Structure 1
Amino acid sequence: MEGIWMTAAFYLLAAIILGSALLVVLLKNIVHSVLWLAVCFVAMAGLFLTLDADFLAAVQVLVYAGAVCIMVVFGIMLIQRGDMGSTNLFNNQTKAAAGVVALVLAVCGYLAATTPWASPAAAVPENTVESIAEIMLSKYVIPFEVAAILLLVALVGAIFLAKEVKADARND
C-alpha cells in the first residue's frame, strides 16, 4: 500500500512542478513569476522527501525557495520599474527558445531511454548529513569557499549597479 501512496505523491508533485514552472515562464508579472518559482522549489523539496533525502529537502527549501527567491525579489525592488504589471514581456525569440527546449527534451529522452536503471533501489544511508559535511569541509572546502565568495561579490556588484542606475535616473 505504501508504494501506491509514493507513486501518487510523485505524480502530484511532478504535476505541481510542471504547472508552476510553466507559470513562471508564462506570467507577465515578474513578482508572480517569482512566487511560482518558490512553489516549484518547495515541490522539488517534496520530491526529495519521497526519496528519503531529508537534508537535501531542507537545503532546497532554505537555499532555493528562501534565499534565491528573496534575492530575485530584492533585485526587482532595487530596479523599481514604474508598472510592475507587465515586466515579464515576451520577445521575438520564442521560436529559438522552442527549438532549444525541443533539443533538450530529445537529449533527455534519449539519455533516459539508454540508461541502465537498477531494479531494486539501494538503501539510503542513515547518516547522510555527516558524510556530506565531512566531504564539504575537507575535500571540497576550497571550492565551497570560492563559491561563497563569488556569490557575495555578485550580490555586492548587483547592489552597486542598481544604485548607479537609480542615481542616473534621478539625474535625468
Structure 2
Amino acid sequence: MTEAVPSYLSPTGQEIVFLLLGAVAIGSALLVVTTRQLVHAALWLVVCFGALAGGYLVLTAEFVAWVQVLIYVGAVVVLMLFGIMLTRAPIGRSADLDSGNRLVAALVAVVTAAILVTVVIDGFRTAYTLLQPGHGAAKELGASVFATWVLPFEALSVLLLAALIGAIVLSRTDIPGGPSPDQRAGGPQPNQSGVSSPPDQTGGR
C-alpha cells in the first residue's frame, strides 16, 4: 500500500536513525578499503556489518538483522581474524595493501554508486510504504526462500560447499609431492639413492 510521499524537511525518527546508520556503514566501508593495517580493516568491517544490521532492524527485518550479526560478524570476520593469526600475516602498516589503483577504484565506485542511486530514486520516486512490524520475521522469509527462491538458495549452498572443500584442500600440508617436514625445517636432504646424507661438517671446505 502506497501513500503520498511526505516532505523531506520533516523526517521521522526512524528515517533519521536509518540515515545515521547508513553514514556509519559508508564511512566504515571506506576505512576498510583505505587502511593499510589488515587487522584494522577487519575491525572496520565489523562496524560496517553492525551498521547494516541496525538498518535491517529499523526496517523491521529482525530475522535478517540477526542473520547479519551471526553469520557475517560472528563467522566471516572471526574467520578472517583467525586466518590472519594462523598465516602470521603482518598486523602493522603494510605497503603491499596499496595497489596504486586508488583513482581508478574511486572512479568506478562513484560511477557505480551514481547508477544505483539513480535507478533506486527513479523506480521508487512516488512510492512510500509505512513500516509495519512482522514482515521481516522468519515465517515470511522462510516461505519466500523455500518457495520462490529455492533454486538460487540451493545453488548458493553448492557454491559455499565447493568453497569449503577448496579451503580444506589448500590448508592441508600432507599433499603428495610436497616438501616433507624435515626438508621444511632444514634437516638432512636425501641423495639420489634415497638415503639421507648427514649435514656437511667440513665448514664448506
Classify the TM-score, shorter chain: 0.7 to 0.9
Given residue 142 of structure 2, which amino acid in structure 1 is its aligned partner? A
Pairs within 5 Å for 1:32-71: 32-71=40-79
Work out whether residues 41 and 64 of structure 1, in 8 Å CA contact, stay in contact via their aligned partners in 2.
Answer: yes
**Deviation at residue 46 of structure 1 after TM alignment:** 0.6
Aligned residue for 2:153?
144
Q: Normalized against structure 2, the TM-score is what?
A: 0.68
Aligned residue for 1:16?
24
Pairs within 5 Å for 1:156-167: 156-164=165-173
**Deviation at residue 123 of structure 1 after TM alignment:** 5.2
Matching of residue 131 in structure 1 with residue 140 in structure 2: yes
**CA distance, structure 2, for counterparts of residue 142 and residue 116 of structure 1:** 28
**Deviation at residue 65 of structure 1 after TM alignment:** 1.5
Q: Residues 113 and 7 from structure 1, CA distance in 2 versus in 1: closer, same or farther, beyond 3 angstroms?
A: closer
Q: Between the two proteins, what is the percent identity of the paired residues?
A: 36
Given residue 35 of structure 1, which amino acid in structure 2 is its aligned partner? L
User: How many pairs are equivalent?
Assistant: 167
Work out whether residues 41 and 60 of structure 1, in 8 Å CA contact, stay in contact via their aligned partners in 2.
Answer: yes
**Deviation at residue 112 of structure 1 after TM alignment:** 3.4
Work out whether residues 48 and 56 of structure 1, in 8 Å CA contact, stay in contact via their aligned partners in 2.
Answer: yes
Instruction: Determine which structure has more spread, i.e. the larger CA radius of gyration.
Output: 2
Q: Residues 23 and 122 from structure 1, CA distance in 2 versus in 1: closer, same or farther, beyond 3 angstroms?
A: same
**Deviation at residue 129 of structure 1 after TM alignment:** 1.9
**CA distance, structure 2, for counterparts of residue 72 and residue 41 of structure 1:** 14
Work out whether residues 31 and 41 of structure 2, in 8 Å CA contact, stay in contact via their aligned partners in 1.
Answer: yes
Q: Residues 84 and 107 from structure 1, CA distance in 2 versus in 1: closer, same or farther, beyond 3 angstroms?
A: same
**CA distance, structure 1, for counterparts of residue 150 and residue 43 of structure 2:** 33
**CA distance, structure 2, for counterparts of residue 9 and residue 69 of structure 1:** 25
The answer for unaligned runs of 5 or more in structure 1 is: none
Given residue 44 of structure 1, which amino acid in structure 2 is its aligned partner? L
**CA distance, structure 1, for counterparts of residue 19 and residue 144 of structure 2:** 33
**Deviation at residue 116 of structure 1 after TM alignment:** 3.6
**Deviation at residue 57 of structure 1 after TM alignment:** 0.9
Given residue 98 of structure 1, which amino acid in structure 2 is its aligned partner? A
**CA distance, structure 2, for counterparts of residue 77 and residue 58 of structure 1:** 27
The answer for unaligned runs of 5 or more in structure 2 is: 1-10, 187-205
Q: Normalized against structure 1, the TM-score is what?
A: 0.79
Q: 1:93 aligns with which of 85, 98, 101?
A: 101
**Deviation at residue 11 of structure 1 after TM alignment:** 2.6
**CA distance, structure 1, for counterparts of residue 12 and residue 149 of structure 2:** 39
**Deviation at residue 58 of structure 1 after TM alignment:** 1.0
**Deviation at residue 138 of structure 1 after TM alignment:** 4.3
**Deviation at residue 142 of structure 1 after TM alignment:** 4.6
Matching of residue 84 in structure 1 with residue 91 in structure 2: yes
Work out whether residues 78 and 163 of structure 1, in 8 Å CA contact, stay in contact via their aligned partners in 2.
Answer: no
**CA distance, structure 1, for counterparts of residue 58 and residue 98 of structure 2:** 36
Work out whether residues 60 and 133 of structure 2, in 8 Å CA contact, stay in contact via their aligned partners in 1.
Answer: no
